[in-house]
Amino acid sequence: MNYFPDEVIEHVFDFVTSQKDRNAVSLVCKSWYKIERLSRQSVFIGNCYAISPERVIGRFPGLKSLTLKGKPHFADFNLLPYDWGGWVYPWVEALAKSRVGLEELRLKRMVVSDDCLELLSRSFVNFKSLVLVSCEGFTTDGLAAIAANCRYLRELDLQEIEVDDNRGQWISCFPDSCTSLVSLNFSCLKGEINLTALERLVARSPNLKSLRLNRAVPLDTLQKLLMRAPQLVDLGIGSFVYDPSSEAYIKLKATLVKCKSIRSLSGFLEVVPCCLSAIHPVCQNLTSLNLSYAPGIHGNELIKLIRFCRKLERLWILDSIGDRGLGVVAFTCKELQELRVFPSGVDNAAVTEEGLVAISAGCPKLHSLLYFCQQMTNAALITVAKNNSNFTRFRLCILDREKPDPVTMQPLDEGFGAIVQSCKRLRRLSLSGLLTDQVFLYIGMYAEQLEMLSIAFAGNSDKGMLYVLNGCKKLRKLEIRDSPFGNTALLTDVGKYETMRSLWMSSCEVTLGGCQTLAKKMPRLNVEIINEDDQMEFSLDDRQKVGKMYLYRTLVGPRKDAPDFVWTL
Amino acid sequence: MEGCSKTGEQACPQLLDLMAKERREWRVMRDGEASSSEEKKLELRLGPPGGEDKRWSLKDSTNRERDAHHHQYLLSLGYFSSTNNSNNNGFSFLHHHSSRSLPVMAKESSQPCCTKVADLQSPAEKKAFLSSAPAKNTAVPNSSQKRTAPAPVVGWPPIRSFRKNLAGASASKLPASESPNDVPSKTVNEKPAHEPGRKNPFVKINMDGVPIGRKVDLNAYDSYEKLSAAVDELFRGLLAAQRDSSAGGIVNKQEEEKAITGVLDGSGEYTLVYEDNEGDRMLVGDVPWHMFVSTVKRLRLLKSSEVSALSREKCKTRYWLD
């Protein structure tokens, strides 16, 4: 390859798209490093504190798409104080100052202010796509700035966001000249929305493929929107409250029949627990169905709906479907690849090991699972492992903490052991139920491809954590809460943490002294102790157990924006 | 007692504090080296049963970690109580306990109070941790953790609060609480009427010139006037003590504690400001109460003379140093 001109090599590199592959390519030689970095357009930063914006921009001046992740995963469950960090403003500021022609920004678990959105909207002429997942810190004013200023906006996608202030007029800020929208998702916004402005926006967006509405959009508006956008592929219904005899409903039924392109359906944020027969015509073509935000739909209605969904590949649902409903899924959805069953909180609704066994038997293509259940048995897990060795993601959450196998009263070590032994391509695993060190022995032995492991209320001793750290060579993220792992486990192989993105340990047995030792030995790790209630003001005893520790590798040292309660050792 | 209004009930928190501290220290002495796990399970303890044994066996004397967990458990239990519930007294005492433990420990004398408190404590404790039947604390629990309903814990089950709030907002029965299987109990059967989007109703409040801060439960008030009155109650004593000490220790016992007034309209010596969810410092009182509650992150009493020097800051410069 040495005697090809750079342009040719660059052209070859155009076909290398995955970040992993491009990283590998850049390590071959200096010349390839240079060609690769100048031609890279899409950069993924898994931990925004591992590197500085200036260095990213310096290395990839041609960058057009940036993905950033901020807070650790357990922040989703309120384990991290509100203002721990993850502000994206410095990144946007640095990008704005440089000559980067940013077109796409995807953020997860970061804090985004209105000022930041304003700056973003004004700084990049060709900005096209903004995707915010599980972010916070902004109001609809920020959205208004994006709408008003991004002339070629194609995608505005808000997922699982709690926006406090909500005034609904931001949708009117899209100028009449904006006709480029392809994807608009504001389903998580709680307040009112200007319906007329929304209708006009959809009417002038011929390329619109994905539209997810919030609960403030009523049925008659939905019908009008569908009339204007029959080309929709992905629909998120806001409010599905209606009177079955009303004209609006009859019209909607007719319109839905015409929407032959819809492949993905979600929402039903407000729903009357009555029949959903209007949806049935759409079901036969669906590949993705998300009813996990719709506790108003009863189990029986769900089952009726599922019977029509033969092509389903992805299903997100509440446990109100029950084991019986999962049996119907197993019977009907032979193409199913991803299943998520969330808790609905209704007492008798929960699913058990029966549903999971049925699914594993009936859905041969299933490889991604998130399953909240009342109970699980070893026998069931062993059966699942026999039925299906394709799992790449297996996340099981038994709602009752540390619950053993209800039949044998044994820990679930053997069951999970069977899963990791059988599923050789397993990359992500979450454990629950009663578990001893034994399960970690199995994980260390068999889970060779494991990249992310979540542990809660499990294990007996340091050995457990050591089995994992020693055995899982590809481990990148380890998060542990309320488990008896202490300094020995933490300090036995300190070099391991530089091969990982991050480690979270809360309510474990590690002490301040242990963390300090680690921090001293590994200068390229940030070891953060997160103190709540101003505990730092009191005496600092080495033997004191640490409430929350989050450590991650970094090239730029301790972060300068850490709040008072975060102590970087 | 400082910062305490004068009803007999309100005097209890300090005593309850002490009891809790006493209990933990007692356990240290008792545990010594290795008490059997059975013994540990038989102990009366403050905390959820099962699984948390490890945390409650103390190897060192500092209790901060315990406080943190204690506080956590209490907070999550506090979610189930509304302030109108008269049985809630146990909760509010315990809440105040955790944030006030330092000044109390400095001042409190001990023994005679304890025995009395023991009586007060146990019924409150039983109510407080009713998620497991009180008998469980003394009965030999099944080592296979057949709990009827475990005490809720922060972050369990691991679902995003976005999901919990969504379900709560619709017509279903999913409680906006930590556990989807709600605790069936007579004494705590009211969900808190807490604002959607208000994840943590307790905000810190600091006052210029007073080194110790307080925490207020915003759900306990429904107007700025009530908040202002509470602020006065919380800090009046602390401020007077501060003045006493800064006057060179010449304690004038006749000096009345001066009321803290005019915090909302700029007419008093101090003005109430807050930090909102964007990190900006704002005057309290401009927006409707519910909007304030959902955006406020911290409160502060500034000297009114300094208020005019307020300036907007981006991105967390640390002007909230105590």
**What are B212-226's pLDDT values in tens digits?**
788 888 888 888 888
Determine the average pLDDT of the residues in A48-54: 96
Flag if A544 and B294 touch (Cβ within 8 Å).
no
Q: Please state, in angstroms and rounded to a whole number, the distance separating the CA atoms of residues A170 and A144.
A: 4
Q: Measured between CA atoms, how close is A509 to chain B, in angstroms? A: 8
Which burial class, exposed, middle or buried, applies to A319 when counting CB atoms under 10 A from its CB (0-12, 13-18, 19+)? Answer: buried
How confident is the model at residue B28, as a pLDDT?
A: 39
Q: Contact A263/A291 with Cβ under 8 angstroms?
A: no
Flag if A399 and B180 touch (Cβ within 8 Å).
yes
Flag the least confident range among A431-435, B21-25, B270-274.
B21-25
- Mean pLDDT, chain B, whole residue set: 56
Q: Please state, in angstroms and rounded to a whole number, the distance separating the CA atoms of residues A542 and A512.
A: 5
How confident is the model at residue A89, as a pLDDT?
A: 96
Flag if A113 and B278 touch (Cβ within 8 Å).
yes
Percent of chain A residues past pLDDT 70, beyond the cut: 97
Flag if A564 and B181 touch (Cβ within 8 Å).
no
**B181, B187, B190, B192 alpha-carbon torsion, rounded to 10°:** -90
Q: Contact A258/A225 with Cβ under 8 angstroms?
A: no
Terminal Cα distance for chain A, rounded: 47
Residue B23 pLDDT level (bands cut at 50, 70, 90): very low
Q: What is the pLDDT of residues A336-369, one digit of tens each?
A: 999 999 998 776 678 999 999 999 999 999 999 9
Closest to A80 (Cα-Cα) out of B304, B154, B291, B229: B154
Question: Which helix (H) or strand (E) element contains residue B39?
Answer: helix B37-42
Does the model's ipTM exceed the 0.90 cut?
no
Q: Please state, in angstroms and rounded to a whole number, the distance separating the CA atoms of residues A283 and A275.
A: 14
Flag if A484 and B54 touch (Cβ within 8 Å).
yes
Q: Report DSSP state, residue B259.
A: P
Residue A173 pLDDT level (bands cut at 50, 70, 90): very high
Q: What is the pLDDT of residues A203-242, one digit of tens each?
A: 999 999 999 999 899 988 999 999 999 999 999 998 888 8
How confident is the model at residue B203, as a pLDDT?
A: 85
Which burial class, exposed, middle or buried, applies to A181 when counting CB atoms under 10 A from its CB (0-12, 13-18, 19+)? Answer: buried
- Asked if residue A98 has pLDDT above 60, the reply is yes
Strand partners, A136: A111
Collapsing DSSP to helix, strand or coil, B209 comes out as coil
Closest CB to B50 among A79, A188, A402: A402
- Asked if residue A155 has pLDDT above 90, the reply is yes
CB distance from A538 to chain B under 8 Å? yes
- The structure tokens listed for B18 are 């002490």
CB distance from A547 to chain B under 8 Å? yes
- The structure tokens listed for B147 are 């709990």
Chain B residues with CB-CB distance to A482 below 8 A? 51-52, 153
CB distance from A10 to chain B under 8 Å? no
Q: Measured between CA atoms, how close is A165 to chain B, in angstroms? A: 8
Q: Measured between CA atoms, how close is A368 to chain B, in angstroms? A: 17
DSSP H stretches of helix in A68-160: 89-97, 114-123, 140-149
- Asked if residue B13 has pLDDT above 70, the reply is no
Cα four-point dihedral sign B32, B37, B43, B46: positive
Determine the average pLDDT of the residues in B256-260: 71
**Greater pLDDT, A472 or B123:** A472
Collapsing DSSP to helix, strand or coil, B198 comes out as coil
Which burial class, exposed, middle or buried, applies to B133 when counting CB atoms under 10 A from its CB (0-12, 13-18, 19+)? Answer: middle
- Asked if residue A469 has pLDDT above 90, the reply is yes
Q: How do beta strands A338-342 and A314-318 pair?
A: parallel
Residue B167 pLDDT level (bands cut at 50, 70, 90): low
Determine the average pLDDT of the residues in B241-252: 60
- Asked if residue A28 has pLDDT above 80, the reply is yes
- Asked if residue B55 has pLDDT above 60, the reply is no
Collapsing DSSP to helix, strand or coil, A478 comes out as strand
How confident is the model at residue A197, as a pLDDT?
A: 94
How confident is the model at residue A477, as a pLDDT?
A: 97
Collapsing DSSP to helix, strand or coil, A565 comes out as coil
Chain B residue closest in CA terms to A80 = B155
Q: Please state, in angstroms and rounded to a whole number, the distance separating the CA atoms of residues A412 and A379.
A: 9
**Residue A128, Cα to own-chain centre: how many angstroms?**
22
- Asked if residue B69 has pLDDT above 70, the reply is no
Cβ-based neighbour number of residue A523 at 10 Å: 9
CB distance from A348 to chain B under 8 Å? no
Q: Report DSSP state, residue B201.
A: -
Residue A76 pLDDT level (bands cut at 50, 70, 90): very high
- Asked if residue B229 has pLDDT above 70, the reply is yes
Q: What is the pLDDT of residues A372-430, one digit of tens each?
A: 999 999 999 999 999 999 999 999 999 999 999 999 999 999 999 999 999 999 999 99
How confident is the model at residue A99, as a pLDDT?
A: 86
**Biggest distance spanned by C-alpha atoms of chain B:** 63
- Asked if residue B143 has pLDDT above 70, the reply is no
**Greater pLDDT, A258 or B79:** A258
Flag if B159 and A342 touch (Cβ within 8 Å).
yes
Beta strands in A134-252 (DSSP E): 155-159, 183-185, 210-212, 234-240
Cα four-point dihedral sign B298, B303, B308, B309: negative
**Residue A90, Cα to own-chain centre: how many angstroms?**
23
How confident is the model at residue A533, as a pLDDT?
A: 61
**Biggest distance spanned by C-alpha atoms of chain A:** 75
How confident is the model at residue B149, as a pLDDT?
A: 55
Chain A residues with CB-CB distance to B170 below 8 A? 269-271, 294-296
Q: Please state, in angstroms and rounded to a whole number, the distance separating the CA atoms of residues B35 and B41.
A: 10
Q: What is the pLDDT of residues A107-143, one digit of tens each?
A: 999 999 999 999 999 999 999 999 999 999 999 999 9
Which of A454-468, B20-34, B234-248 has the highest average model confidence (pLDDT)?
A454-468
Strand partners, A303: none
Q: How far is CA A94 from CA A62, A70, A98, A489, in A?
A: 14, 17, 6, 39
CB distance from A403 to chain B under 8 Å? yes
Q: Please state, in angstroms and rounded to a whole number, the distance separating the CA atoms of residues B69 and B72.
A: 5
Q: Contact B301/B208 with Cβ under 8 angstroms?
A: yes
Mutate to test the interface with B, among A134, A165, A293, A560 (most CBs of B within 10 A): A165
Q: Measured between CA atoms, how close is A400 to chain B, in angstroms? A: 8
- Asked if residue A198 has pLDDT above 90, the reply is yes
How confident is the model at residue B241, as a pLDDT?
A: 77
**Residue A541, Cα to own-chain centre: how many angstroms?**
38
Q: Contact B145/A403 with Cβ under 8 angstroms?
A: yes
DSSP H stretches of helix in A72-230: 89-97, 114-123, 140-149, 195-203, 219-228
Q: What is the pLDDT of residues A360-378, one digit of tens each?
A: 999 999 999 999 999 999 9
Which residues, 6 or more positions from B317, have their beta carbon under 8 angstroms from its beta carbon? none
Collapsing DSSP to helix, strand or coil, A35 comes out as helix
Question: Which helix (H) or strand (E) element contains residue A428?
Answer: strand A428-430
Q: Contact A202/A228 with Cβ under 8 angstroms?
A: yes
**Greater pLDDT, A166 or A264:** A264
How confident is the model at residue A539, as a pLDDT?
A: 54
- Put simply, the chain A residues between 224 and 253 with a CB less than 8 A from any chain B CB are none
Chain A residues with CB-CB distance to B205 below 8 A? none
Predicted TM-score (pTM) of the model is 0.68
Which burial class, exposed, middle or buried, applies to B247 when counting CB atoms under 10 A from its CB (0-12, 13-18, 19+)? Answer: exposed
